[in-house]
Amino acid sequence: MSAQVMVTLPDDTYRRAEYLARMTGRDIADVLADTIGLSLQPLGAQHAADQPVAQLSDADVLAVADSRMDLALDQHMSELLDKQQAGRLADDERPMLLALMQVYQDGWLTAQGPGLERSGAPRPTPAA
């Protein structure tokens, strides 16, 4: 299955995609679709169990709220962010930084979702 979308690209990005399409003898739309697909691969596949926070059990909501990014990934993201801040981030490191930031953001947004009440009430303890 595929979806058709309209995207506005910076001129430089379009010129690079157009060049790649010309050099490979492919349609620019195919080049862009493949490039987007490849750049999103570090995020992994969407899990079938992914669901809105409002549909999670109390125990699952607490697990999401308490979850943390894998320590090695967190360290790698910190290193890449430090390089970016210092203006030393290499072009080939940028996709990984974007992917790690997306993973971080997805986890944060899930933990802040509408299913998490901020009433100040004590957290229920999961049944053993």
Residue 91 one-letter amino acid: D
Q: Is the pTM of this model over 0.75?
A: no
Contact residues for 66 (Cβ-Cβ < 8 A; gap 6+): none
Q: What is the DSSP letter of 57?
A: -
pLDDT tens across 8-55, in order?
999 999 999 999 899 989 999 999 998 888 776 655 555 434 666 667
Give how far the C-alpha of residue 124 lies from the chain's centroid of Cα atoms, to the nearest Å: 30
Ordered by start, the domain boundaries in the chain are 1-43, 47-128
pLDDT tens across 71-94, in order?
788 888 899 999 999 999 888 888
- Residue 61, Cβ neighbours under 10 Å: how many? 21
Fold of 1-43: Arc Repressor Mutant (1.10.1220)
Task: Give the separation between CA 86 and CA 114, rounded to whole angstroms.
Answer: 36
